[in-house]
Amino acid sequence: MADNLQVELVAADRVVWSGPAQMVIARTAEGDVGILRGHTPILSVLTSCVVEITEPEGAQHFVAVDEGFLSVAHDRVSILSQHAALSHEIDLDAARAQLEEAEADPGDHEAQARARAAQARIKASERSR
């Protein structure tokens, strides 16, 4: 375990993924960040994106997240988001329908946030194939 990161990805209603990881990639307000063991401590705002988690054995998990927070300290990565879904949990047809609905009203900021979340879900689902 000492050679790995300890990762916890938490949504408002559950722990989405927890365990050791070799690498985590996420998008913050400052841009994409790749996190490996020994990473400098950071606390940043997370944007709607696909978080990639690579386990020590090489298995990858793709998680669609809404906005939230990313914290890294002492080889521990905490990702907190209101909503998060592992790629295999995503209903692709529903995500595409939400995206179309949200894009229909460009003046609605809440709809645009839903559109970004739907795009992240679609990307996560596509990356897991």
Whether 28 and 56 share a structural domain: yes
Whether 112 and 79 share a structural domain: no
DSSP structure string for 17-66: EEEEESEEEEEETTEEEEE-TTPPPEEEEEPSEEEEEE-TTS-EEEEEE-
* pLDDT at res. 95: 77
pLDDT band of 15, cuts 50, 70, 90: very high
- Helices 92-103 and 109-127, axial angle in degrees (round to 10): 150
Whether 40 and 10 share a structural domain: yes
39, 95, 128 from 7: Cα distances, Å:
13, 26, 19
Whether 80 and 122 share a structural domain: no
Assess whether pLDDT exceeds 60 at residue 1: no
Whether 20 and 81 share a structural domain: yes
* pLDDT at res. 99: 77
Name the residue range of residue 109's domain. Answer: 91-127
Q: How many domains does the chain have?
A: 2
* pLDDT at res. 49: 87
Whether 19 and 82 share a structural domain: yes
* pLDDT at res. 89: 83
pTM: 0.82
CATH number at residue 57: 2.60.15.10
What would the pLDDT profile of 20-42 be if each residue is shown by its tens digit?
999 999 999 999 999 999 999 99
Whether 42 and 97 share a structural domain: no
Whether 95 and 67 share a structural domain: no
